[in-house]
């Protein structure tokens, strides 16, 4: 049962955000017809938000493994930000898995911070 709230869920969240961001941008670029415009920039920014979130959460994972407590705090901020992001795009895209992973990320990060320094 210890795996349920393991710090390795932070790595899962980082990979989920990053891979989804890369896939999002890839498919946007493949399907976009025409020149570089404001609409393409807006669509690419969605993917870049995911990519950046994944990279930052990965750094938080490394921080938690090295017993740096601020990794948990930063990943909580990213998790809340991703929940806000999912709420904003929910009318267009029902991203239930991203919402669930973000909740797990927040719970695991709170648990990691409360068990500091024995993460």
DSSP letter for each residue of 22-81: HHHHHHHHHH--SS--HHHHHHHHHHHHHHHHHHHHHHHHHHHHTT-THHHHHHHHHHHH
Domain membership of residue 84 as a residue range: 8-114
pTM: 0.90
> 68-87 pLDDT, tens per residue?
889 999 999 999 999 999 99
pLDDT at 18: 98
Question: In this structure, are residues 73 and 110 in contact, taking their beta carbons and an 8 Å threshold?
Answer: no
Establish if 94 belongs to a structural domain: yes
The total of other beta-carbon atoms located within 10 Å of residue 17's CB is: 27
> 30-78 pLDDT, tens per residue?
998 888 888 899 889 999 999 999 999 999 999 999 988 899 999 999 9
Establish if 26 belongs to a structural domain: yes
Establish if 1 belongs to a structural domain: no
- Dist. CA 108–CA 97, nearest whole Å: 16
């Amino acid at each position: 049962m210890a795996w349920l709230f393991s710090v390795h869920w932070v790595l899962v969240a980082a990979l989920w955000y990053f891979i989804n961001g890369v896939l999002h941008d890839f498919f946007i670029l493949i399907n976009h017809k025409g020149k570089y415009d404001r609409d393409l920039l807006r669509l690419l920014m969605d993917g870049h938000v995911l990519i950046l979130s994944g990279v930052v959460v990965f750094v938080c994972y490394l921080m938690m493994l090295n017993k740096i407590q601020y990794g948990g705090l930063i990943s909580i901020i990213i998790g809340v930000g991703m929940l806000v992001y999912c709420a904003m795009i929910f009318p267009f895209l029902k991203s239930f898995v991203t919402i669930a992973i973000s909740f797990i990320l927040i719970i695991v990060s709170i648990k990691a911070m409360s068990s500091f320094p024995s993460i």
